[in-house]
Structure formats: structure tokens, C-alpha cells
Amino acid sequence: MISVLPPLGAIVLPLALLLRPVQSEYAAGNVSALHDNSQNCSCYVLNSGKDSNTPEYFQYYRFWDFRDLASNGPRQYINAPPEVNNTQDQGSEDVWDANILNSDAWNVDWGIQNWSKPATEDFPTKMVNSPANVYIMQNEDENDAFTFLTLRTSRLDDFQSAAEIENEQKNLKHCSMRMMARVVGSKGACAGFFTYFDDTNESDVEILTDDPTDMIRYTNQPALDKEGNEVTESSQNPSDLPHWDEWQEHRIDWFEKNSYWYLNNKQVAANTYSVPRVPSGLVINMWSDGGEWSGNMSIGDSAEFQIQWIELTFNTSGPLEGPAGGNNKRSVELWPRKEKKENCEVVCKIDDVQKRGTPEVVSVNHSMATGVSVSWGVLGIVGVVSIMVGMM
């Protein structure tokens, strides 16, 4: 017998008994806990869609919190580390704050990139990703001395030093991904937050520091056709938005046939063009190559992408390292995959919760308690679900 999930909020249980944060504890080196769902949540629900009021369900949830990493008081991370210099053009520099950003807890989820690309006629500045451009910073207000992850790009005499991190979960097949972030610094840079498999399966939030601070670019690739002409329907560039150089919550919802973008929980763009069709990964970068898109940063200038937290709820398809044929720039060590989970007993919400990063139970399917299963196919009625293989 198949029983459909109860309506969102139909049965509310005592939260004190059923809540548990799902956060990355970098300082504690708690590796195994990072890849488990909340013990009390079988699936996760959010509202999305054209009307932003359609329940969508996902199997997995992650929350990476960078706000409380200072162990030595409110001024530990107020000074940015030195920039890469003119001789450091190989991307071989060590990462700063290695106790956090090269810990087991970090490395099991994130890879800091060091690939490079040469200058070309269209992109006249050589670009080199360096681990030294990924570090921790801290708010200077001692009464609110939260920390945040920082990705920096800076212009040297002969190259652009850039930053990129990739999530090791490369088999995302539909997700809602969010971050609390801001972009500060000089013109001529691009901050990116996007899903990626290849150049035709990519969904972007991009902030160009050449743009007005109330404009953000929302794009499904490819943005150019085979002749190099702009594909108008690929991108939406709303303006009069909350300013990106102040802290804002950015969000992409990726479903089977639709992409939706939100800013501070308000839908600001939607698209059906070239919605990604292949399991993908999450990428965050801060870069420039002197080209028409990023702009050309002046020598000696720099810009930063600053991130308080990242939240991800998702379904998976295929192996952890993602399908073959994508433009993966680094190899991924496999973590043992989880058993396929076919039931959704306890539904948890991730929005409008008391504490960000702590899902709250909204309903329980009591038929589960009596051995009646719920098909994930049924969940597809209200949210596209792909669980060919569990994550790990």
C-alpha cells in the first residue's frame, strides 16, 4: 500500500525531541558526521516554483557554518593575509588557516583549486587559482565578531590571482543551494556561485564588480550559441535589488525543467532555458581574466567574495564523483555510499526555522510507523526526486 505524505505542517511534533543541527564542525575534525542526514529527518521540504508556494522535497541536507571559527577572541582574523606576489604564478602556495581549511572535516567536503589558464586574445590576462586566496576573516565589530570564509582575486603585473572551491558532492541531481554572502573590492572581477558539469550544464549566480551594486546576473549556460552570439533567453539581469556589497542571502533552486533564483527569500528570476540535465557539483569562485565578461582589473587592485554560511538540500543520481565526461579539474576520492533510502517518515523544513542550519520537523507520516512505505515516485508529484543511488 502507498500512502502520500501528509500536507506540510499537518502534524507537528515536539521540536525539543526531534531537532538536531546538521553542521560542519571544522574545529572538531568531525568527519563522519558531515555526511549523515539529521537523525530525525527523513526528507526536507521547502516552498518554491513559479508561485514560490509549491512544496518541493529533497533527501539530503548540509549546512556549512563559517561564523564562529575564532578561538582566540574578536580580533583573531581581522587582518587579511598577504596577497600573492608577482613570482607566485604556479598556484602552489599553501592555504592560510590550515587548521580549518586543510582539516579532515574541510577536505572531505571541499576542494581548494589551483588550476590555471593562459592568456588568449579574448581573455588577455593569465589566470591562476591559488589556495592562498582562500582564508578566514572576521567582522571588526567586537560586539558582533563573527567570522566568514573569504575568496580573493588580485591583479599582478603579469597575471590574475584567483580563488575557487568545489564541493566534493558531484552527483547533485536537483537541489536548493543558498549562501549568506557579500562582494567587496575593486572593479574587474566576477564572483560565482553555481552548479556545474560542463559548459552546457551550468546554472549561475554571478556578481560582476563592474556592474551597479543593485544588479546580479542569473544564467543557465550556454549563454552563447555556436557562432558566439548571445543567447538572450539564457540570462536575466534584474536591477534595483538589495546591494551585493552588503550581506544578502543568495539562492538557486534547480528542478527538472525549471531554475529559480531568490534573493533574501524573494524570487527574482526564473528560467526554463537549458536547465541542467546532468548530475553536477557546486562551485564557488572569485576571478578575472581581463575578458569582456569579468572586466579588466587594474594592477594592484583586488576584490573579495565573503561568505558566512552555505546551505544545500539535494537529491543525488549516480556515483559521488559525478558522471564521466564533465570538465572535472581534479580527481575525487570516493567515500562509501549510503544505502538507498526509500521512505520519508519525518518531514523537516529548512526555512522559517528558529536557528539557521537546524531543520525543524513539520510532519510525520504515521503510516510508516505501521510498516506502510511511501514511494519516492509519489514524492515526484510535489517535487522532482532523483535517488538512483544514495550519496555515500
* Nearest Cα residue to 189 out of 163, 165, 166, 167: 163
Q: Residue 22: its pLDDT value, please?
A: 47
| pTM score, whole prediction | 0.84
In DSSP notation, 255-319 reads: -SS-EEEEETTEEEEEE-TT---S-BEEEEEEE--SSTTT--PPTT-EEEEEEEEEEEEEEE-S-
The CATH number assigned to the domain with range 1-78+87-392 reads 2.60.120.200
Q: Residue 14: its pLDDT value, please?
A: 34
CB 142 within 8 A of CB 364: no
- With a cut of 70, which residues of the chain have pLDDT below it? 1-38, 326-343, 366-392
Q: Residue 368: its pLDDT value, please?
A: 52
Q: Residue 366: its pLDDT value, please?
A: 66
CB 357 within 8 A of CB 22: yes
Q: Residue 112: its pLDDT value, please?
A: 98
Q: Residue 323: its pLDDT value, please?
A: 87
What are the tens digits of pLDDT across the range 171-185?
A: 999 999 999 999 999
Which value, in Å, is the radius of gyration of the alpha carbons in the chain? 21
The C-alpha angle with vertex 151 and arms to 150 and 156, in degrees rounded to 5, equals 130
Q: Residue 15: its pLDDT value, please?
A: 32
Q: What is the DSSP letter of 168?
A: S
Give the bridge partners for 200, in sequence order.
Answer: none
